[in-house]
A and B are shown apart, each in its own frame.
Chain A
Amino acid sequence: MKYKETAKVIRQECLMDGIYSMWIQTEKIAGEAVPGQFISVYSKDSSRMLPRPISLCEIDRAQGSLRIVYRVAGAGTAEFSGYQAGDDIEILGPLGNGFPLTEKKAMLIGGGIGVPPMLELAKQLTGEKVIVAGYRDSLFLDRELSANGAFYVATEDGSTGTRGNVMDAIAANGLEADVIYACGPKPMLRAIQAYAITHGIQCYLSLEERMACGVGACLACVCKSTEVDEHTHVHSKRICKEGPVFLATEVELD
């Protein structure tokens, strides 16, 4: 089930310039959420009509709370970044499908603001795993991630870890896995998709696109699919509904 809730901000902190971490007390959403899912966050300013889809970074089912870590990208997320403990926050969720959990040797790859969903996934994957995170320069969530698996970093400026991108870090450290989970910018996902298909590795990619409804009705957030899709019988899957997590073999990233 999906729920529209007026939830409460538990606490919020700025992790680094433009990146915020917010814990939210929910009634029902946290109780059903799984890693890789997202919530829609609604602005209190009605001139901003569309909810912002934000991935889940941590899920505390026992406490009924969720953590989102997001980048301030415009006026909507700037508004959210000003919320204080005790403030109301309008949310809808949990939305989309999460990452299928396996016991296989896993590689979790996050790039930029695609890093946060890897934290809850890392916490819930019980098998052997390596975590690869790519950043421009400054790191965030690095301590939490390194507490949940072997942790490798790539930075564009080389200030930490391998200079370059996540693929460079994978090569430099000779990392291997039987299943890959990835979230990040499209060029990164494209490289991982090609790598996984070439090496015959099972691979799940989490995609993003501009969304309006968040529930599969408006057909704004589609991606190209290799097979004819169930919903509209073309080659187009709804990221909010069939995704955001797809097998690397079922989507075309152009």
Chain B
Amino acid sequence: MAERNLSVDIAGVTLKNPVMTCSGTFGSGMEYSEFVDLSRLGAVVTKGVANVPWTGNPTPRIAEVSSGMLNAIGLQNPGIDVFAQRDIPFLKQYDTRIVVNVCGRSEEDYVEVVERLGEEPVDLLEINISCPNVKEGGIAFGQNPKAAYAITKAVKAKAKQPVIMKLSPNVTDITEMAKAVEAAGADAVSLINTLTGMKIDIHRRAFALANKTGGLSGPAIKPVAVRMVYQVAQAVQVPIIGMGGICNAEDALEFILAGATAVAVGTANFHNPVASVQVAEGIAAYMERYGVSDIRELIGAVK
């Protein structure tokens, strides 16, 4: 059997394979490490972390919908101090890259976390400017190219690690957002975050979520995500991390062929706790089947 290369490069950081986890679906890997050997993943992307603890939204925070779910967790997190003491040392035990997702309500919040992480052994930062479930911050930076440019510049000025900007699909033209963050110095982009949705419980005649709206994820959004990854791949030079409804290797390969250098598995973890590792195995099997010696031959191969 020929030696096959599954490793990819994101802003100078080599991932052993292109499979990561989606922020918010995997904690910091601790809970899933009972089922998944984290060392078999290209990277673990943590739940968003802010400068201080965030309480999150009232419950119910989730609702199932056909081929997906809505969530409005509201970025509950312990803040950077606890995270740095507990979660980073945990992840360092594994042979995987550590990507820390950073959230904030203001530019100062983001920069504070990014500066703190500069002293920590993390490989990449993913800046969440696309959470639809928090009022200030999050999406406020992610729906306006000028605001996205400004926050990217501010983060890049202080970041010691390469910066991935996570983009929202809740925009008219995602390529404008991708171009703005690239112009501001982003090292990579990840897309898509969730699509804002709503579910109404007809029996209770009430919103299914306490937050009224939530982010739609899962296979229901995959065609939208593949389309956006393709569009962004035509618009920018920086590497793309593709996500949105990936459940298996076939899904992941669609994103890679559309132009994603790496992929992330999110909602599928809830349906199948070992989905992420199965995606990595399935990509290797696909390469074997079609005689692909290097995964990089597949990135953006469909024009």
Contacts and interface: CB of A to CB of B under 8 A. Distances in A.
A213 B34 contact: no
B78 A92 contact: no
A239 B269 CA distance: 19
B219 A2 contact: no
Given A46-B271, A233-B79, A217 B31 contact: yes
A213 B31 contact: yes
B66 A47 contact: yes
Contact of B60 (A209, A216, A218): A209
Given A42-B271, A46-B219, A233-B78, A1 B34 contact: yes
B34 to A, nearest CB: 5
B282 interface: no
Interface in B49-89: 53-56, 59-64, 66-69, 71, 73, 76-79, 82
Nearest to A50: B64
A51 B59 contact: no
Interface string A193-220: 0000000000000000111111111111
A105 interface: no
A234 interface: yes
B34 A49 contact: no
A173 interface: no
Contacts of A104: none
Given A214-B270, A222-B76, 17 more contacts: A49-B219, A49-B270, A49-B271, A50-B64, A76-B64, A209-B59, A210-B63, A215-B32, A217-B25, A218-B27, A218-B71, A220-B61, A221-B59, A232-B53, A232-B77, A234-B76, A236-B76
**Shortest 9 CB-CB contacts between residues of A and residues of B:** A217-B27, A217-B31, A220-B62, A233-B78, A215-B31, A232-B78, A233-B53, A216-B31, A234-B55
B97 to A, nearest CB: 19
26 contacts: A46-B67, A46-B247, A48-B64, A49-B69, A49-B219, A50-B69, A50-B270, A209-B59, A210-B60, A210-B61, A213-B25, A213-B31, A213-B269, A216-B27, A217-B31, A217-B32, A218-B73, A219-B47, A219-B56, A220-B71, A221-B59, A221-B61, A222-B61, A231-B78, A232-B54, A233-B78
B300 interface: no
Interface in A1-35: 1-2, 4
B71 A49 contact: no
Contacts of A92: 273
Given A213-B31, A218-B73, A49 B59 contact: no
A100 B219 CA distance: 40
Give the interface size class of chain A: 20 to 34
A79 B72 CA distance: 27
B55 A236 contact: yes
Contacts of A223: 59
A248 B165 CA distance: 43
A123 interface: no
A92 B274 CA distance: 12
A211 B59 CA distance: 10
B27 A232 contact: no
Contact of B218 (A49, A215, A216, A233): A49
In the complex, which of the residues A49, A51, A214, A241 has the most CB atoms of chain B within 10 Å of its own CB atom?
A49
Contacts of A233: 53, 78-79, 82
Nearest to A229: B78
B26 A217 contact: yes
Interface in B268-290: 268-274
